């Protein structure tokens, strides 16, 4: 198997890319070439950081020891089923669906926790789900996907990766 970047190298690549991008965005904003509100910048940054440190494609190795699982601390075990479900560098490392599998998995985790809380504490009132507009969601989406794609590029994954091989591998399991 070809050598692939370690979690640490992935983190460094993403941090470097973010720095260049942030500096570029700052300069472009000063020159009135780009208009990014502070809220948009923050949302982009949060999603990029989450995608880099918490939702890395290498969570498909979470059944073992992997950097991206360690960032979850005590909650790292929550990703073990994800690691068992997805073969390493298979569907999890595809460009469009791969990042969505981790968001969907996270959504299921949150739904389970909320369901459990409602069951254990029926009187508990949970904060309402905020109504998110496209202006808020777009920087999140761009930040998240960019962090994922930088990982895939560093891994040598092409945008058409998994369209054939990844799915076949998944079915074989």
Question: Is the CB of 52 or the CB of 58 nearer to Zn ion?
Answer: 58
d(CA 173, CA 53): 28
Interface positions, 98-137, toward Zn ion (CB under 5 A) = none
Write the CA distances from 107 to 100, 101, 110, 143, integer angstroms. Answer: 10, 10, 5, 18
Residue 51 or 57 with smaller CB distance to Zn ion: 57
Query: Least CB distance from residue 82 to Zn ion, whole Å?
Result: 14
**Taking the complex as a whole, how short is the minimal distance between the CB of residue 7 and Zn ion, in angstroms?**
9
Q: Computed over its alpha carbons, how large is the radius of gyration of the chain?
A: 18
Q: DSSP for 83-98? A: HHHS-TTSGGGSSSHH
**Spatial separation of the C-alpha atoms in residues 13 and 41, rounded to whole Å:** 20
How near is the Cβ of 151 to Zn ion at its closest, in Å? 6
- Min. distance of Cβ 4 from Zn ion in angstroms? 6
Nearest approach, Cβ of 94 to Zn ion (angstroms)? Answer: 11
Q: Which is nearer to Zn ion, 58 or 99 (CB)?
A: 58
Residue count, binding to Zn ion (CB under 5 A): 3
Nearest CB to Zn ion, comparing residues 40 and 48: 48
**Residue (22 or 67) nearer to Zn ion, CB:** 67
Q: Is the distance from CB of 143 to CB of 44 less than 8 angstroms?
A: yes
Q: Which of residues 37-76 bind Zn ion (CB under 5 A)?
A: 57-58
Cβ partners under 8 Å of residue 52, min gap 6: 10, 11, 14, 15, 18, 147, 151
Binding of Zn ion at residue 155 (CB under 5 A)? yes
Binding site for Zn ion (CB under 5 A): 57-58, 155
């Amino acid at each position: 198997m070809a050598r692939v970047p370690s979690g640490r190298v992935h983190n460094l690549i993403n941090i470097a890319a973010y720095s260049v991008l942030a500096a570029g965005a700052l300069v472009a904003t000063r020159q009135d070439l780009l208009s990014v509100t502070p809220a948009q910048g923050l949302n982009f940054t949060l999603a990029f950081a989450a995608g880099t440190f918490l939702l890395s494609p290498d969570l498909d190795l979470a059944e073992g020891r992997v950097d991206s699982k360690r960032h979850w601390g005590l909650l790292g075990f929550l990703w073990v089923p994800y690691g068992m479900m997805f073969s390493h560098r298979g569907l999890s490392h595809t460009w469009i669906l791969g990042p969505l599998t981790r968001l969907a998995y996270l959504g299921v985790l949150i739904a389970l926790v909320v369901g459990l809380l409602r069951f254990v504490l029926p009187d508990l009132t949970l904060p309402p789900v905020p109504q998110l507009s496209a202006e808020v969601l777009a920087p999140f989406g761009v930040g998240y996907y960019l962090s994922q794609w930088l990982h895939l590029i560093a891994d040598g994954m092409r945008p058409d990766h998994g369209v054939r091989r990844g799915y076949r591998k998944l079915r074989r399991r």
